[in-house]
Amino acid sequence: MSDPTVPDPTITTPPVPADTTPSDGPLGTALGQLDGAIRRLGYDPGMHAMLAAPRREIHVAIPLRRDDGTTELFHGYRVQHNISRGPGKGGLRYHPAVDIDEVRALAMWMTWKCAVVELPYGGAKGGVAIDPRGYTSSELERVTRRYTSEIMPMIGPEHDIMAPDIGTDERTMAWVMDTYSVNRGHTIPAVVTGKPLEVGGSLGRATATSRGVVHATRAALHEAGHELHDVRVAVQGFGKVGGPAATMYADAGARVEAVSDENGAIYRPGGLDMPRLREYVAASGTVVGFDGGDPITNDELLTLDVDVLVPAAVEHVLTADNAADVKARWVVEGANGPTTGEADALLTERGVTVVPDILANAGGVVVSYFEWVQAQQAYWWTEAEIEQKLAERMAHAYAEVSEMARREHVSLRDGALLLSVRRVADAHRIRGLYP
């Protein structure tokens, strides 16, 4: 590994362009994080500019013929932030707030995430500005197939591999895989991950992000002389990540005292009855109204007197407005980008251990990688093999990040960024510039 304190002499280029200057929103946060890592690593403005700018991006218009015969237009994006360590990798998000800057930020985080856990991938992300809850399954299928056709030249098992994210699921991935495969003339399961088992999905993928979050929590607690059965946990977001994670925490002996979804939160000091809560949510679609806890607001959940806070929903929920009131000693980022730069500084200053998103929620993309490897070899692993390999990867990555943070006297987030930015910069340096 190169010495991070020695500026790289091989690249000298013009000053960093204006669009690498942090702005508001997730992209501002992501660029601010990169900025900090670049300064510490001593890289020059040329390397900074290369790592700040997406390598490729596409903006597509997606007309939908609705079931009632009317037409609606949506905007979709795919951004490959970096492809120097391998194909682009990252989810596809369906959410009304999706825009190009959010997708750029999420793609950049995928680059660092894949590098932290040493996957042979770059980082990418896609999104469509649509609220999937307002559309029927057949409408969503048409949106997905049209989006896939529009971005077709950019994706593929060796180019850019999609996976589920907010608002998409394994069914969406099956449509992407089918559209891509039909157009190529043969079945190509490795173009997406997080697909159904019946068409080449991997055992353990659906719960991998949550499992990884729990592994990361266990490692952080252990380092401070604690275990999961000692702690009280609050989970913000009861979706694909937070829902299974809450159950896994409870199964490991933690007291899960509060959970929330976009409708509200519930709180029970001493711990919620998770099996009963899951049954309630399966029937009602929300945690709100569960009689085994008191109703509280989402904001109240974030500042509850618990040991571990797990933001597992969307970006920027911990801000300068509430970070000083967070009482948890550990914040484990199940979501991508839940903490603004200001909030991160406040939490670190107050001695809160933040296990950063690019490490804490990397379990999903780790098992995506396992799924891609299995699909390429057409040879399938057992669930036990997958879970063991995931646990090893998470433990190893946590140890490396923690070691870097200790050595450099920085937070776990900065440790993770130093490690990953350096790995990506090394790939650039070793490959050299063409022509």
Torsion angles phi and psi, residue 2, rounded to 5: -75, 160
Minimum CB separation from ligand GLU for residue 398, in Å? 16
**One-character DSSP codes across 206-267:** TTHHHHHHHHHHHHHHHHTT--GGG-EEEEE--STTHHHHHHHHHHTT-EEEEEEETTEEEE
Beta-sheet strand order (sheet of 308-311) = 294-296, 264-267, 255-261, 232-236, 308-311, 330-332, 353-355
Which residue of the set 113, 125, 195, 240 is catalytic? 125
Q: Pick the closer one to ligand GLU by CB: 217 or 336.
A: 336
Minimum CB separation from ligand GLU for residue 390, in Å? 12
**Strands, DSSP E only, in 231-379?**
232-236, 255-261, 264-267, 294-296, 308-311, 330-332, 353-355
| Tokens representing residue 31 in the block | 């660029």
| Tokens representing residue 21 in the block | 């200057």
Q: Pick the closer one to ligand GLU by CB: 163 or 323.
A: 163
Which stretch of DSSP H or E encloses residue 392?
helix 383-408
Q: Pick the closer one to ligand GLU by CB: 114 or 281.
A: 114
Catalytic residue flag (residue 113): no
Q: Pick the closer one to ligand GLU by CB: 209 or 348.
A: 209
Q: Pick the closer one to ligand GLU by CB: 205 or 329.
A: 205
Contacts of residue 45, Cβ cutoff 8 Å, sequence gap at least 6: 13, 14, 15, 16
Minimum CB separation from ligand GLU for residue 343, in Å? 20
Secondary structure (3-state) at 354: strand
Neighbours of 125 (CB within 10 A): 33
Sole residue written with tokens 């309630």: 280
**One-character DSSP codes across 75-143:** EEEEEEEE-SSSSEEEEEEE-TT--HHHHHHHHHHHHHHHHHTT-S--EEEEEE---GGGS-HHHHHHH
C-alpha 135/C-alpha 250 separation (Å) is 35
Q: Pick the closer one to ligand GLU by CB: 89 or 422.
A: 89
CB-based closest residue to ligand GLU: 91
Q: Pick the closer one to ligand GLU by CB: 26 or 91.
A: 91
Minimum CB separation from ligand GLU for residue 337, in Å? 10
Q: Pick the closer one to ligand GLU by CB: 148 or 348.
A: 148
C-alpha 419/C-alpha 412 separation (Å) is 10
Residues paired with residue 76 on neighbouring β-strands, in sequence order: 60, 128
C-alpha 59/C-alpha 64 separation (Å) is 16
Q: Which residues bind ligand GLU (CB under 6 A)?
A: 89-91, 163, 165, 193-194, 336, 361, 364-365, 368
Minimum CB separation from ligand GLU for residue 93, in Å? 8
**One-character DSSP codes across 180-191:** HHHHHTS--GGG
Minimum CB separation from ligand GLU for residue 357, in Å? 8
Minimum CB separation from ligand GLU for residue 89, in Å? 5
Minimum CB separation from ligand GLU for residue 184, in Å? 20
Neighbours of 385 (CB within 10 A): 13
Secondary structure (3-state) at 154: helix
**Active-site residue list:** 125
